[in-house]
Amino acid sequence: MARYLDDRIVRWRTGSNEGQFLVLAALIGVVAGMTVISLLNYAAVPAGTFVVPALLGMLALRFKPLLTLIIFEVLCLGGTVAKESAQSGFVAGRVSSLAAIAIIFGILLFDSSRRRSGLPGPLGEAMLVDLRDRLQAQGVVPPLPTGWTAQSAMLTAGGVKFAGDFLVANLSDDESRLEMVLVDVCGKGVMAGTQSLQFAGALGGLIGALPPLGLFSAANDFLLRQNWNEGFATAVHVLIDLNSGAYTIINAGHPPALRWDAGQREWIIDGARGTALGITKDAEFHQTVGGLAAGDALMFYTDGVVESRTKDFTAGIEWLRTIAAKVVSTGFDQAPKRIIAQVESGDDDRAVLILTRALSPSAVGTDSSLLRPKRARR
């Protein structure tokens, strides 16, 4: 019985016709039982209680099954009210109650007919959330080899669960190369969130299959084909050799990456620059190369971290360099969360990603050349 019920629930969650029929049959059975009780004792089940099955139907049924349920309820409700009125006479207050019920039924049907997904509210939301979770799962940095740590933190504007900032990551099969792209889709809120879902799916299918410059060119072409009103995005790409620490960075209109120099104890601004994705077909992307020594780190972030109403972009980067240096002076553990916690409350999504190479020589190899800080170069 448990397996049968679980299977029925799964079928309902998929929005199948069988699942809808079972829910409709159950609700019709409830209404029929309420009708019998109401005919025997109207005071026990008055007209107003018939709204409850309709509300449950709104949560569980598509439009046509919901319409069937409400028509059945109207017929049952008409019979019980007619019988009660014949026995107790006309009651003026009953007219207003029936009018209120009719308005509620109309609102429920109108709301159901407006759902573009064709699914009941909870099912439509569950499908969208599941899609978001599946796409965001590809942005989770996989477990890295000993000596490497990746941490990230994100805070959406206004507490909305769908953000325009997202990360896509890929670790090679031999765990020697890590590739990551941090993207900030123009806009905020629901519109930016839905666009980022679509863009994340496209990038997730391309990362690892194309070289970095080819990946950005394909992403640029993809956005140009979408014809979105605000159809551009900024992005930063990093490809790092986890054996040697050598990396390349490509920037497409994104705030510059920062490299923590363990020797100098400061964040150094990377020089990669480029055109934002989705603006022009002839976008230019410039690449920088460098290396991470033991104790060094790379930090990537979105403009919501460094821009606000009270400080401009340049001042924001200097502020971030100062704050981030103070944060990591006590260690890199939870550093992205601690940095975001000090960002001014704003109306833009905020994301920080930090990739760290461990300080212990035993964790990063015995080659002494790896222990010398390397400066990024053009």
Q: Predicted confidence band at 308 (pLDDT cuts at 50, 70, 90)?
A: confident
Per residue in 84-129, pLDDT tens?
A: 888 877 666 778 888 999 999 999 998 888 876 666 666 666 666 6
3-class state of residue 150 by DSSP: strand
For residue 165, the cross-strand partners are 184
pLDDT of residue 126: 62
3-class state of residue 18 by DSSP: helix
Q: Please state, in angstroms and rounded to a whole number, the distance separating the CA atoms of residues 240 and 141.
A: 13
Contact 284, 274 (CB under 8 A): yes
pLDDT of residue 376: 41
Per residue in 328-364, pLDDT tens?
A: 998 999 999 999 988 876 667 788 999 999 875 444 3
Per residue in 161-184, pLDDT tens?
A: 556 678 888 999 999 999 999 988
Q: Can you tell me the mean pLDDT for 3-18?
A: 63
Per residue in 209-232, pLDDT tens?
A: 899 999 999 999 998 888 777 778
The type of residue at 87 is Q
Which architecture does CATH list for 141-371?
4-Layer Sandwich (3.60)
Q: Please state, in angstroms and rounded to a whole number, the distance separating the CA atoms of residues 237 and 257.
A: 10
Burial of 354 (0-12, 13-18, 19+ CB in 10 A): buried
- In degrees, rounded to 5, the angle at the alpha carbon of residue 245 between the alpha carbons of residues 241 and 249 is 70
Average pLDDT, the chain: 82
- In degrees, rounded to 5, the angle at the alpha carbon of residue 49 between the alpha carbons of residues 45 and 54 is 135
pLDDT of residue 153: 86
The type of residue at 110 is F
pLDDT of residue 238: 95
pLDDT of residue 138: 60
Domain boundaries of the chain, sorted by first residue: 2-124, 141-371
Length of the chain equals: 378
Q: Please state, in angstroms and rounded to a whole number, the distance separating the CA atoms of residues 305 and 348.
A: 9
Q: Please state, in angstroms and rounded to a whole number, the distance separating the CA atoms of residues 66 and 11.
A: 17
3-class state of residue 354 by DSSP: strand
3-class state of residue 152 by DSSP: strand
Place of tokens 């550093």: 335
pLDDT of residue 73: 94
Identify each DSSP E strand in 65-221 by its residue range. 148-155, 165-171, 177-185
Residue 186: closest CA among 352, 351, 346, 348 = 348
Q: Predicted confidence band at 156 (pLDDT cuts at 50, 70, 90)?
A: confident
pTM: 0.68
Per residue in 56-94, pLDDT tens?
A: 988 888 888 999 999 999 999 989 988 888 887 766 677
Quickly list DSSP for 270-298: ----BPPBTS-TT--BEEEEEE--TT-EE
pLDDT of residue 199: 83
Structure tokens at 304: 């919501």
Contact 46, 34 (CB under 8 A): no
Residue 80: closest CA among 65, 96, 100, 94 = 94
pLDDT of residue 322: 94
pLDDT of residue 373: 38
